[in-house]
Amino acid sequence: MKYALITGGSRGIGAAAARLFARRGWGVAVGHCQSGQRARALTEELSGLGVPAMAVRADVSDKNQVERMVDNVLENFCQLDILVCSAGVSHMGLISQIDEDEWRHLFAVNVDGVHHCCRAVLPHMLERKSGSIVTISSMWGQVGASCEAAYSAAKGAVIAYTKALAKELGPSNIRVNCVAPGVIDTEMNAHLSPDDLSALAEETPLGRVGAPEEAAAAIAFLASDEASFLTGQVVCPNGGLVV
């Protein structure tokens, strides 16, 4: 059996990935920060599929909390094969309107959080010379978005970090890949009006926005043995909006 830790696993793409992993027979640790009730409800659902499941809390921007979270997972599962860095926050607005604290918070969660999680799991994966890490970026991390300069910059940093870490860890048989979704129907995009979503769907060659399950399928593929010769790659479930 394989075991996965999914940060930001209580909702959206992270929760969809947790369900997919569990259906494939993997044990899942659902990481969360402020959604304890949701995380516990999800782990009960996953346990009903006959796999080990647990909820673990950590603010990924805090290195010490992340280390305790990973220690907790290893104490319960004794093994960790897959890390999915799905925890993230967004910000929309003119660059002149984002203050210093908002900018720092965005990078603390989206960039520092990925780094803290990778650093925390690496001793275990390096000892076993095995593991798969999947980071979550965004199509805006590839091409940038108007009124989302900070978010685009942070998600671009995740892509660069992923590519660099893949080169560093490849000789240890640890794969590091990234999923950069397009417009996905999640709570993170709930601020978009129906008209905005409709416009984005019209701009998308497939003519619609994506579902969390479609992004989760890309995550599960990259984490699986079927992707054993893939590392340092960015997979883009975006309906063709960015090519």
151 is catalytic: yes
3-class secondary structure for 25-90? CCEEEEEECCCHHHHHHHHHHHHCCCCCEEEEECCCCCHHHHHHHHHHHHHHHCCCCEEEECCCCC
C-alpha 192/C-alpha 86 separation (Å) is 20
Residue whose C-alpha is closest to residue 118's, from 151, 155, 166: 166
Active-site residue, selected from the candidate residues 3, 26, 140, 151: 151
Q: List, in sequence order, every residue forming a beta bridge with 235; answer none if it has no partner.
A: 179
E strands within 98-139? 131-136
Which are the catalytic amino acids? 151
